[in-house]
Amino acid sequence: MKGLRPKEANAPSASPHVVCPFYVRPMTGGDLEAVAGIEAENPSPWSPGQLAGEHAQESGWQFVAESSASGQVCGFVCGRSLVGEAELLKIAVGRECRRQGIAAELVAHALHYLAAQGVGHCFLELRATNLPALALYERFGFRRAGLRKGYYASPPEDAILMEKIVFSAQL
Ligand SMILES: CC(C)(COP(=O)(O)OP(=O)(O)OC[C@H]1O[C@@H](n2cnc3c(N)ncnc32)[C@H](O)[C@@H]1OP(=O)(O)O)[C@@H](O)C(=O)NCCC(=O)NCCS
């Protein structure tokens, strides 16, 4: 698990948007506005109300990646667990923060959390053309488990279902 990095890594970078280093922590109610802003950048975004409802779910789990330099929330992941199975519902990283390993860290953190909870399987679905997300999940050993034709709207698209057996030894 990536933690805080040495202090020199916090030196100002060429881009004001580069947020590394970062760390992953549980989402709080105070993060919801920032999370809604990240979510709004993507197709079929959840509304702030939906995000707040998800955050209140008893079976839900949510983590954010926060810049340790600025405190900015730069990504989040959320899902639900029930009787040994979990579904990863959403993951997103702010556009200006992508390709820095933030989503990978969020997935790794979620999988460690699920393994510690004794979850055996994790499922998810994604738009069939979402190649960055597909590559991310395949990197973590998620396997294609099915296709839901025309599952998504706005724009209409098939959903790929993916599954991973969650064992701490595989993380
Ligand atoms: C998908 C998403 C979460 C990836 O976030 P990210 O922080 O940029 O991803 P990371 O830097 O951690 O990359 C981890 C892996 O994901 C894959 N990946 C991420 N972005 C990619 C891209 N643009 N093209 C190809 N592969 C990509 C790669 O396998 C990468 O590993 P690598 O760096 O060793 O090649 C981000 O693009 C996003 O928020 N997209 C919009 C929301 C979304 O589509 N969510 C998924 C819905 S199911």
- 102-125: pLDDT as tens digits: 999 999 999 999 999 999 999 999
- 30-44: pLDDT as tens digits: 999 999 999 999 988
Whether 40 is in a domain gets the answer yes
Average pLDDT over residues 143-159: 95
The residue whose CB lies within 8 Å of the most ligand 1 atoms, and thus the one to mutate among 99, 125, 157, is 99
Whether 2 is in a domain gets the answer no
Domain that holds residue 29: 7-170
The residue whose CB lies within 8 Å of the most ligand 1 atoms, and thus the one to mutate among 89, 129, 130, 136, is 136
C-alpha distances in angstroms, 83 versus 50, 59, 118, 120?
23, 10, 9, 9
Yes or no: say if 115 and 149 are a contact pair by the CB < 8 Å rule. Answer: no
Residues with CB under 6 A from ligand 1: 42, 91-93, 98-104, 126, 130-133, 135-136, 139
Whether 65 is in a domain gets the answer yes
CATH code: domain of residue 106: 3.40.630.30
Closest CA to 139 of 167, 164, 157: 164
* Centroid of ligand 1 to alpha carbon of 48 (angstroms): 23
Instruction: Give the chain's domain count.
Output: 1
